[in-house]
Amino acid sequence: MSTHHRQQAIDALLDHIRAEALSCGACTGRPMLSDRVMRAMAAVPRDAFVDPDLQDEAWLDAPLPIGHQQTISQPFIVALMTDLIDPKPDDVVLEIGTGSGYQAAVLAGLVKQVQSVEVIGALARMAAQRLQGMGLHNVHVHHSDGHSGWPAGGPYDAIVVTAASPVIPPALVEQLKPGGRMVIPVGPQHGRQELVLVSKDAQGQVTESGLLPVAFVPLTGGAPALRA
């Protein structure tokens, strides 16, 4: 793809993200995404995170396979989830589900540090190498079970979960700072899933808000404890 056509594809993707945000705004409360988030989306080369035979599809607003029965998320959902956590330059963010590293790369341009956990070893290694090769040294990838979070790097200003869990893992709520926000798809595989915003106030009180229907791959590894 020529530089001109690539830029056209990026611009078209950003326009589609803006249109999707507007159409879902009544549900998400985010009819317009922040300029910081949109600049971060424009700056990350999505084509670097997909297989060579999918290069022509890299700038479409759609999920794509990355192997191991996993996907790189739809760019609109990446942008929305990023916007929902209100990323600040000094934030330390936990990501559950590194996958290709695309979401982590977007976060890396917006926050101080990203701790990212991936349960599939091959994906964790490839993502770590890719992100380091792109000079994103504020992302640290760990091969571990996302249900447990990454306590060593916490507590976190925000948490982004890129795979669906039947319930919200208690360990992730515990690792969220007072005043922090977590966005997570909740629901069964192949069943109704909902994107949920979890907020913890200054006193540690937790509230959950369902936003819109989504479809994510499942959060694999050890099952979280069910809430009573």
Contact 155, 176 (CB under 8 A): yes
Who's near 92: CB < 8 A, 6+ residues apart? Answer: 111, 112, 113, 114, 115, 153, 154, 156, 157
Contact 103, 78 (CB under 8 A): yes
Q: Which residues are known to be catalytic?
A: 73
Contact 70, 124 (CB under 8 A): no
**Closest-CA residue to 94 (of 73, 75, 112):** 112
Who's near 202: CB < 8 A, 6+ residues apart? Answer: 178, 179
Other residues' Cβ atoms within 10 Å of the Cβ of residue 136: 17
